[in-house]
Amino acid sequence: MAIQFNFVSSMLILVLLPISPVKGQGEGGGGVIDVVANFGAKADEKTDLSKAPIELQVQGTVKAPTDPGAFKEPKWIAFNRIENFKLSGGGVFDGQGTTAYKREGCKGHDYCGSLPINLRFDFLTNTMIQDITTKDSKQFQANVLGCKNITFEHFTVSAPDESPNTDGIHIGRSDGVNALNSKIKTGDDCVSIGDGSKNLVINGVTCGPGHGISIGSLGLFKNEEPVDGVTVKNCTMTNTSNGVRIKTWPGAEPGTCSNIHFEDITVTNVSSPIIIDQKYCPWNKCKINEESKVKLSNISFKNIHGTSTRPEAVKIICSATLPCENVELADIEITHSGPTGPAVSQCSNVKPKVSGKQNPAACSAPIPAKPTPTA
């Protein structure tokens, strides 16, 4: 087990507690446990503390160094290989990333990829992240990799809309991740879901500004694992570039994404409320004239309502070689008002099952030769 810290602190209180009460030294037995003295804890990524389930309470603010050069690796605080862990306390992890956003090349993501992530959760089992805030990370706010049964509840993300590559919660190769009743404001995807993710629930998340809740991008790298079983419910998107989205790269690597359900979503002033984009090609770094090799199936969009800033309120662009299968549109009510006309619904290489109200009418508009690119 390892907990790594590389920070400058301000108004910081860290309390390590066992999940089960342990009588501590001093009056009242407050349950405080010294994991260094009792269990030989070391921040060496080797010492095993699996016999000591712990709760880390953070009260106040932890501040990262402002200079990206202070980090030897692209991470700031990392929790690695822990079972039965809880992070709580109402504290704030401040990445102080505003200067990094303005660095040369950051907008193109070439530079941003080496910047530190605020919070990394790697290979954790049975974990709760509750009442914690991450703000102004230099890269991703929180990154989840190789975890099983991890829940974010009342988790707050705060970053300006011009902050590049600052995904609120990025999830990859993890089973049983829950993001519940959380508020995310950032400059990239509020929640991004990478390959190998399965059995995910995102419920009660408010997003904006940001790029919405996105599965992908998928199909860029070799040997990507399937995405299977994602439910996004009771979420609100306000002033975001996308609402709910699946994105895959054209002409790259094969993969699968299935059993994806978006339900009870409110969109307000959102550029692209409902979107499947299998021609995802940011920065023109792809084979745009080729087809995606990622197979999409068993996908539903139900009870999604609100307003769109673009007329293309529904856009489902699937692969010509691997058309989307079993896509459902039910009770869609999205309006657009402006000089470009009312909201439209565009479909390509898909025959969705349609039920309930459909405004705009499902698949009623043609796909233009050059579709509007998405962020």
Mind telling me the catalytic residues? Answer: 211
Q: How far apart are CA 310 and CA 308, in angstroms?
A: 5
Give, in order, the Cα–Cα distances in Å from 146 to each of 84, 195, 212: 15, 11, 23
**C-beta separation of 255 from 219 below 8 A:** yes
C-beta neighbour count of 100 within 10 angstroms: 23
Consecutive H or E run containing 38: helix 35-39
Give, in order, the Cα–Cα distances in Å from 300 to each of 125, 293, 333: 30, 21, 15
Q: How many Å separate Cα 225 from the centre of its chain? A: 17
Per the rule left: phi > 0, alpha: psi between -120 and 50, beta: everything else, 114 is alpha
**C-beta separation of 163 from 192 below 8 A:** no
2-4/75-80 β-pairing:
antiparallel
**C-beta separation of 187 from 162 below 8 A:** yes
Per the rule left: phi > 0, alpha: psi between -120 and 50, beta: everything else, 156 is beta
